[in-house]
């Protein structure tokens, strides 16, 4: 039975890892290896010039800084606001609570493409486009990227916290803020971890909104994925070549740029995978 299970897991793992392995192997191939049909998985030499060229074309320092800012700052606001809203729905009763909860769920059901243009016009009138404010302000108001999911995570987690803990603290003289910071937050650490990780990855991988809000106006803020979208155009501008020139862009250079774009997320998952798996297990989230 174990042999079947491990064989199945290896097959599933190969399906997920094959694109990454193929991309990495291609990225370290020279032009001669790419043209040689007999070379498939093992290059004749470890060719690193593809990464050097991709590094210079993608303007890594500036684009990495932009990606990190767009991913980290709105994520912090989003997690804090989602925790507060989820705690409020879970702990308190107030007028029209079910209505507000239903409207929150409805806001998630509505396809974002329908609201894209009205939202862009609103942000333009408020002078939010072209800066980080286009991501920070919605996140701080509970309308960040997939905020409803994180509110539901915190709602479910705080709902499961024993009511007796809050009652005992209130008997000892604790106010609502102390209950939140001393009881609710320590009990919801897995929810905070999973919400931060998912939010960070989703903001990092977001390209449509980033293109819409940042490239609509002239600004210096860019991201790794925006640079990847413009990779071929930037490469040809930086390395102008004639027909049949050895500097002409090839698949190895493209794959090197793609590998560079995913390395930060791979590093984050490598160091935080234990917390990630434990948090997913405790919050009951299905894999994305």
* Residues 93 and 215 reside in one and the same domain: yes
Average pLDDT score over residue span 58-71: 85
Average pLDDT score over residue span 35-51: 78
* Residues 39 and 65 reside in one and the same domain: no
Whether residue 288 is predicted with pLDDT greater than 50 in this model: the reply is no
Q: What is the pLDDT of residue 245?
A: 58
pLDDT in tens, 213-264: 876 555 667 788 888 888 877 777 777 766 555 667 777 888 888 888 888 8
pTM of the model: 0.79
pLDDT in tens, 101-130: 888 888 878 777 777 888 888 888 888 887
Neighbours of 110 (CB within 10 A): 9
Residue 39 phi, psi (nearest 5): -95, 115
Q: How far apart are CA 197 and CA 175, in angstroms?
A: 31
Q: What is the pLDDT of residue 208?
A: 81
User: Angle 43-45-46 (CA atoms, 0-180°, nearest 5)?
Assistant: 95
* Residues 139 and 264 reside in one and the same domain: yes
123, 129, 116: which is closest to 218 by C-alpha?
A: 129
Q: Is-contact 224 57, C-beta < 8 A?
A: no
* Residues 41 and 52 reside in one and the same domain: no
Average pLDDT score over residue span 120-147: 84
Whether residue 184 is predicted with pLDDT greater than 60 in this model: the reply is yes
| Total domains, the chain | 2
Domain membership of residue 288 (yes or no) is no
CA distances from 266 to 191, 221, 273 (A): 21, 23, 10
* Domain span including residue 38: 1-46
- Choosing from 27, 46, 65, the residue where a domain stops is 46
Domain membership of residue 235 (yes or no) is yes
Q: Is-contact 252 27, C-beta < 8 A?
A: yes
* Residues 1 and 56 reside in one and the same domain: no
State the CATH number of the domain containing residue 156: 1.10.3720.10
């Amino acid at each position: 039975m174990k042999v079947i299970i491990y064989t199945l897991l290896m097959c599933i793992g190969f399906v997920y890892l094959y694109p990454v392995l193929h991309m990495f192997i291609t990225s370290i191939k020279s032009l001669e290896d790419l043209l040689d049909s007999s070379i498939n998985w093992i290059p004749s030499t470890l060719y690193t010039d593809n990464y050097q060229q991709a590094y210079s074309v993608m303007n890594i320092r500036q684009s990495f800084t932009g990606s990190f800012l767009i991913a980290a700052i709105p994520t912090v606001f989003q997690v804090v606001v989602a925790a507060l809203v989820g705690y409020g729905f879970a702990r308190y009763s107030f007028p029209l609570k079910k209505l507000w909860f239903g409207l929150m769920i409805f806001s998630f059901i509505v396809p974002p493409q329908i609201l894209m243009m009205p939202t862009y016009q609103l942000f333009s009138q408020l002078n939010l486009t072209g800066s980080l404010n286009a991501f920070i302000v919605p996140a701080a108001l509970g309308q960040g990227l997939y905020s409803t999911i994180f509110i539901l995570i915190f709602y479910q987690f705080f709902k499961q916290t024993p009511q007796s803990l809050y009652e005992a603290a209130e008997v000892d003289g604790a106010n609502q803020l102390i209950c939140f910071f001393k009881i609710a937050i320590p009990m919801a650490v897995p929810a905070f971890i999973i919400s931060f990780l998912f939010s960070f990855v989703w903001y990092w991988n977001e390209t449509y909104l980033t293109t819409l809000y940042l490239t609509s106006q002239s600004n210096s803020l860019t991201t790794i994925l925006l640079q990847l979208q413009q990779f071929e155009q930037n490469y040809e501008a930086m390395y102008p070549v004639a027909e049949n020139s050895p500097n002409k862009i090839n698949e190895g250079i493209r794959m090197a740029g793609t590998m560079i774009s995913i390395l930060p997320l791979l590093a984050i998952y490598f160091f935080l995978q234990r917390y990630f798996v434990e948090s997913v297990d405790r919050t009951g989230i299905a894999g994305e």
